[in-house]
Amino acid sequence: MAEIAGDLGTGRASVGAVLDFAWDAGVFTATDAMATTSLTRSTTIEAIDTLVSADILRELPNAREAGSYRSGRPARRFALSSELGVVVGVDAGDTHLAVTIADPLEHTLVHHRTDLDPGHSPDERRATILGRIGAALEETGTPRDEILAICVGVAAPVNRAGVSPPHPQGFWERTNPGLAAALERWAPVVEIKNDALLAAVAEGSDPRGGAIGCRDYVALLAGERFGGGVVVDGQLLHGAHGGVGEGVVFDHIIGVGSAFGLSHALHDRVREAVEEGEITRTSVVGRLADADRVDPRAVLALAASGDPDAALVTGRVGATLATIVGVLGSMYDPAKVIVCGAVAESVEPVLAAARGILPTQLHLPAPELLASALGAEVVSLGAVASARRAARERAVPRLAERRLAAR
């Protein structure tokens, strides 16, 4: 809210204070605002009236008209306007695309998830992302000039300008094909962020998140590739190029050897056990190896039901995960490591095996290892939460400033 006060002078600081209060207040009265902002009654009422005149706040029927009047003069009631605009959250993964249109407070208007062709060129991928955002806006009947903020999560490090560094095989440039520049005219605030960082945002902000109230944690995206969103002392860690938590480090760790995630690890361990004769090809797990790709959900479900072959595989993958979490624990000293993504829904057999090994992997106390409850939409939820925060802290204060200046 400092933008309002800073742009219009200290006389408008009260407007910023009341606007900040209104985001969390729901329906409120001037007395409610006074109690939180410590402003005088006359200053509070003046600030409220200023925001009402700018269509940032709306005045509701008073207590008598609302049916809750008891005695005395009925209080005026206010709430943040429901017509400020929308926010857009996008999860642009390597093989999927999810687009969410939401209001700036709590309601989702549209959410669509679809597959992406990983063979698309950067130009094709960018066009697809922009096209799907446009289609979702059209579905809600929202013109582009009503977007307050956009946040896109991508499977790449991203610097503070929304640009990914070059990758030896061009992967990062393809997963983030110039999205900051392509979207810069779509909204007052456009943010391109690493997907694991947004998973960390979701785990710390969603009511179902595993890190509510926790100041030190890692959200570990672990399905197709490993990547960590790191929070230390309540602050998201970013780095010069957005590379904090980048999974390529695991290419160099003995006992891991790859940044590929748990889905790949389960595939590889099943194939290896069959080839070594530890699992027969005619067993339930052995037959899974006949497919081009071992279904990780099938292996995890079998392990949960007590199948000994599946337990062998998940035990070995758990040892790999324990090594990964040990590295993260030694580097960042988190209280929790939360395994995120679609794999989290059934990953408990792997986590159970990892928990037994984890204390041997680091000298510090081992972090709590748990599965996310946010499923495949964890990055989408983080993107929407980040867009809402950008709307609150930057876009709506700017909107208020423009409307007040126009007056």
Q: What is the CATH number of the domain that holds 203?
A: 3.30.420.40
Q: CA Rg, the chain, in Å?
A: 25
**Are residue 279 and residue 312 in the same domain, yes or no?**
yes
Amino acid 263 reads S
Residues 28-69 pLDDT 10s: 999 999 999 999 999 999 999 999 999 999 999 876 555 555
Alpha carbon distances (Å) from 176 to 157, 181, 200: 9, 11, 19
**Are residue 168 and residue 139 in the same domain, yes or no?**
yes
Pick the last residue of a domain from 81, 107, 127. 81
Instruction: Give kind and range of the element (H or E) at residue 322.
Output: helix 308-332
| Under 8 Å between Cβ of 205 and 383 | no
Residue 10 has pLDDT above 60, yes or no: no
Residues 191-213 pLDDT 10s: 999 999 999 999 999 999 999 99
The pLDDT of residue 71 is: 52
Residues 135-150 pLDDT 10s: 999 999 999 999 999 9
**Are residue 197 and residue 233 in the same domain, yes or no?**
no
Instruction: Taking residues 315-333, report their average pLDDT.
Output: 95
The pLDDT of residue 70 is: 55
Residues 158-173 pLDDT 10s: 999 999 999 888 889 9
35: which 2 tokens? 């109690």
The pLDDT of residue 3 is: 44
Distance between CA 334 and CA 233 in Å, rounded?
Answer: 9
Instruction: Flag whether 43 is in a domain.
Output: yes
User: What domain count does the chain have?
Assistant: 3
Q: Are strands 147-154 and 86-92 parallel, antiparallel or unpaired?
A: parallel
Instruction: Flag whether 384 is in a domain.
Output: yes
75: which 2 tokens? 């209080």
**Are residue 114 and residue 16 in the same domain, yes or no?**
no
Instruction: Flag whether 399 is in a domain.
Output: no
163: which 2 tokens? 């640009």
8-state DSSP, 87:
E
Amino acid 100 reads T
The pLDDT of residue 6 is: 39
Which of left, alpha, beta for 72 (phi over 0: left; psi -120 to 50: alpha)? left
Nearest to 391 by CA among 81, 91, 182, 109: 81
* DSSP calls for 97-126: EEEEEE-SSS-EEEEEEEE--TT--HHHHH
The pLDDT of residue 239 is: 94
**Are residue 365 and residue 246 in the same domain, yes or no?**
yes
**Are residue 73 and residue 95 in the same domain, yes or no?**
no
Q: Angle 99-103-108 (CA atoms, 0-180°, nearest 5)?
A: 50
**Are residue 384 and residue 315 in the same domain, yes or no?**
no
**Are residue 366 and residue 221 in the same domain, yes or no?**
yes
Distance between CA 6 and CA 263 in Å, rounded?
Answer: 50
Pick the last residue of a domain from 54, 81, 108. 81
Instruction: Flag whether 406 is in a domain.
Output: no
The pLDDT of residue 72 is: 55
Lowest mean pLDDT among 15-24, 220-229, 244-253, 308-317: 244-253
The pLDDT of residue 12 is: 73
The pLDDT of residue 405 is: 82
Instruction: Flag whether 73 is in a domain.
Output: yes
Instruction: Flag whether 403 is in a domain.
Output: no
Instruction: Flag whether 70 is in a domain.
Output: yes
**Are residue 74 and residue 90 in the same domain, yes or no?**
no
Residue 1 has pLDDT above 60, yes or no: no
CB environment 163-201: b (16+ within 10 A), e (fewer): bbeeeeeebbbbbbbbbbebbeebbbbbbbbbbbbbbbb
CB atoms within 10 A of CB 216: 17
Residue 130 has pLDDT above 60, yes or no: yes
Residues 186-196 pLDDT 10s: 999 999 999 99
pTM above 0.85, yes or no: yes
Nearest to 163 by CA among 178, 183, 144, 175: 178
Pick the last residue of a domain from 51, 81, 111. 81
Distance between CA 170 and CA 308 in Å, rounded?
Answer: 41
| Under 8 Å between Cβ of 238 and 244 | yes
Contacts of 385 (CB under 8 A, 6+ apart): 89, 201, 202, 205, 206
**Are residue 18 and residue 105 in the same domain, yes or no?**
no
**Are residue 73 and residue 162 in the same domain, yes or no?**
no
Residue 220 has pLDDT above 60, yes or no: yes
Residues 79-124 pLDDT 10s: 999 889 999 999 999 999 999 999 999 999 999 999 999 889 999 9
80: which 2 tokens? 């943040």
Reported as a pLDDT band with limits 50, 70 and 90, residue 224 is confident
**Average pLDDT score over the chain:** 92
Q: Residue 31: give its domain's CATH number.
A: 1.10.10.10
| Under 8 Å between Cβ of 391 and 355 | no
8-state DSSP, 254:
T
**Are residue 101 and residue 146 in the same domain, yes or no?**
yes
The pLDDT of residue 23 is: 94
Residue 272 has pLDDT above 90, yes or no: yes
Q: Classify residue 70 as exposed, middle or buried by CB count within 10 Å of its CB (0-12, 13-18, 19+).
A: exposed
Percent residues over pLDDT 70 in the chain = 95
Higher pLDDT among residues 75 and 368, named by residue: 368
Instruction: Taking residues 288-312, report their average pLDDT.
Output: 95
Reported as a pLDDT band with limits 50, 70 and 90, residue 254 is confident
Instruction: Flag whether 401 is in a domain.
Output: no
The pLDDT of residue 63 is: 60
The pLDDT of residue 67 is: 54
The pLDDT of residue 68 is: 54
- Tokens 């983030």 correspond to 176
**Could you list the residue range(s) of the whole structural domain that residue 299 is in?**
217-372
